[in-house]
Amino acid sequence: MPIKRSKSQEQPTMLSIEDQDFISNEMSVSLASVSSKLSEHALLPYRDRLESAISFFICSIRAQNKAGYLFDGNSFQFSPAQVEINNYSSQLSEDLAGTDALPVLESLRYSFSLFARNGLHELFTCQENIDWHPKVILTKELKPNDIGELPSQVTLYRGTDITEHLSSSYGQSWTTCKEIAYLFAFTHYVDQPSFEFGSRVILKTKIPKEHAYFSKQFGEFEVVIDVGKITDVEVV
């Protein structure tokens, strides 16, 4: 059954078609995740300013790319677009101080700044998962990666809420390390208002490595997969 949305959730976006295309195709960000957030009742009075900020961020990144900016992994300096994004956000933050829009602006600033520095790889690998951030959905292989080091059939784990399993609506990020999945299930999000210990679970699945979009086998031992290729999942 389709979800019925209130009128406050159906506010049309001010973003241009070009900006929407940039968000979806260049950044691999779910427009629905952004629109849903900006349509929250508490944010409606600030939506136009937040969308104007998004348009400015995109314009800065486009100008940077047109100027031939190349990422230098050995430099700690901000890219030209990052400087503009941070300055714009700093000025707007003064107007939004004390409102529900301020943390949303900061999340948008952070995400677009990451993308401005080193594209989708930086945005995806450095994204935050605790507070709200634009949702990145990979649809193709993200390089560099170490997918080649994975076995042909990969055993994966994911720490999450049981509702994800009951709805078969799985996230893309899994891990080859069961202990890491345990931390995501029972430790990392314990301070979040929606956290309920009794509903947290560790999921397990197996998938051919050709269905992996990204792998980093150190740290969190993350493997990002095409969730459409998931078949059997069990709670462990």
95-124 confidence digits (pLDDT tens): 999 999 999 999 999 999 999 999 999 999
39-57 mean pLDDT: 97
- Residue 1 reports pLDDT greater than 80: no
Is residue 4 scored above 80 in pLDDT? no
pTM: 0.87
Report d(CA 214, CA 143) in Å as an integer.
7
Average pLDDT of the residues of the chain: 92
Q: How does DSSP classify residue 124?
A: H
Unique residue bearing structure tokens 């997969």: 225
pLDDT for position 151: 97
Spatial strand order of the sheet with 173-175 comes to 212-216, 222-225, 173-175, 153-161, 200-208, 233-235
pLDDT tens by residue, 167-222: 999 999 999 999 999 999 999 878 877 789 899 999 999 999 999 999 999 999 99
The yes-or-no verdict on residue 3 having pLDDT over 50 is no
- Give the phi and the psi of residue 225 in degrees, each rounded to 5: -125, 165
